[in-house]
Structure 1
Amino acid sequence: MSSSADKESVLQLQEILVGAENVVEFLSGLSGLAAAAVSEAANDRIECAVTLKLRRRPATAAGSSERAVQLDHVEQAIGDGPCVKALREMSAVMIDDVASDPRWPAYNQALAERNVHSTLGVPLEISGAASAALNFFATKPRVFTADVYEKAVGFAAAAHSTLHLSVRIKTAENRAEDLEAALESRTAINLACGVIMAQNRCSQAEAMEILTKVSSNRNRKLRDVARELIEQLTGSGIQTHFDA
């Protein structure tokens, strides 16, 4: 991919990232751009899915179409294939023709049944704990010629830095959600202890001991028992206010 094309791809991806409400929306935009770029090079309609790996097994994150997502799910269900191998070895992996490629016979048959006859997995290294891959699908065999292959790999290289930023945003979102959930649980427990202290005229430590015993006897989490107590008393749920 030429330098000018690289810059154009990066600008388009940055525009999508800025306009996206969440990471999945960004990855959907990324897969759409990737499909369009490779389709133009192949002079044929190519579909693309994004597989994301964050500390665990790979999972389909988004696609240029619902069909692309479903096709990627096939590989995830089988547990191996070009995209999974690309993520494992961090190098591009291609099936030139599902009818003659001896690897992954179950996967090749599943693709053929869905009118996919060649595919290409291109990895994107994001960080030490995260990686991703673009999974391209074509309805004809031998679509991924040298020029088309170069286009796909070039797009992945151009997308690298923007995808890295996207995953960092997702990680920050997850941490913020975890923190909010932890604060809401603590609020429920503190309120429940206050109720028990008032009802039993006991100390906070004694109230916490009573709440813990109820949690153990019912085999339910402490925060759930606390929420239930407050909801029964007030008729409404717990609200934690984060405003300064």
Structure 2
Amino acid sequence: MDFRADSEEDSLGLLARAAADALSERAGGALDCAVSVVRPRRTPLTAATSEAASALARWDLDSDGPITQAMTGRLAVILNDFSRDQRWPAYRGSLRHAGYRSVVSAPLQLDSGYNAALTLFTEQASVFAPAVLADVVMFSKLAGRSYVMASAVRSALAAATHLRTAMEGRTPIDVACGVIMGQNRCSYEEAFNIIAKASSNRNVKVRALAESLLEDLPGGAPDTHFKT
């Protein structure tokens, strides 16, 4: 639940900071972190603890590097920017330019259809020893599950807020329809059509017209009350 925020990007930012804080001590030095998410038919998201890490992560998504590999489900590691490892030659130049020497990128299991990776950057060489890599993999698995739970809570709260707003808007409309039904001995549908037609003729919203019709009632338009 620590990753719950008002937006998906904000949640990713919380995840990036949590990963950097949790794993820096284990790595024996400061780490920057970037979290990258590719979503179906939507713009990819990147959140990071520094602009340098963010720029590298965005570059990787557009080109080829360890994040691209991690998104296929495989751990990717660079222990030294001058290594003889021939993978990602263009990326290594960008890594060096950003002031980093070592990188590890681990896949994140999020919602179905999402491809995501958690990437850690450091200015030091050979920081990511096997014991540190094991912690990174474990953290990424826990973080992925926690992020999915936080996203579900955020979606549920947003739906509840939307429903509450809709119900608050319906209360004066329903009461106004009841008044019209009593006055005209008609059905609810007929009463609503009367309000809707008047709303269209006056170019005002149905709720605003309903509230104006109720102003002469004792106490005015009623409030909506919810039990918690």
TM-score of the alignment, normalized to the shorter chain, above 0.5: yes
CA distance in 2, matches of 1:57, 1:86: 20
RMSD between aligned residues: 3.1
Which residue identity does 1:92 align to in structure 2? L
Bigger-Rg structure (1/2): 2
Task: Give yes or no for contact 2:39–2:115 (8 Å, CA) kept in 1.
Answer: yes
CA distance in 1, matches of 2:159, 2:114: 16
Which residue identity does 1:99 align to in structure 2? F
TM-score normalised to structure 2 length: 0.63
Cα 1:53/1:96, change in 2 over 3 Å: same
Gaps of 5+ in 1: 1-13, 177-233
What is aligned with 2:96? 112
Displacement over 6 Å in runs of 4+: 169-176, 238-241
What is aligned with 2:30? 45
**Alpha-carbon deviation of 1:16?**
3.8
What is aligned with 1:136? 120
Aligned ranges 1:1-244 → 2 under 5 Å: 14-17=1-4, 20-55=5-40, 59-77=44-62, 79-88=63-72, 90-100=73-83, 101-168=85-152
TM-score normalised to structure 1 length: 0.59
Task: Give yes or no for contact 2:3–2:146 (8 Å, CA) kept in 1.
Answer: no
Superimposed CA distance per residue, residues 126-156 of structure 1 (whole angstroms, 9 cap, x where no aligned partner): 2331132101111112111112111111111
Cα 1:21/1:112, change in 2 over 3 Å: same
Higher relative helix content:
1
Q: How many residues align?
A: 168
**Alpha-carbon deviation of 1:54?**
1.3
**Alpha-carbon deviation of 1:60?**
3.8
Gaps of 5+ in 2: 161-202, 208-223
Which residue identity does 2:9 align to in structure 1? V
Larger CA deviation: 163-172 vs 23-32? 163-172
**Alpha-carbon deviation of 1:163?**
1.6
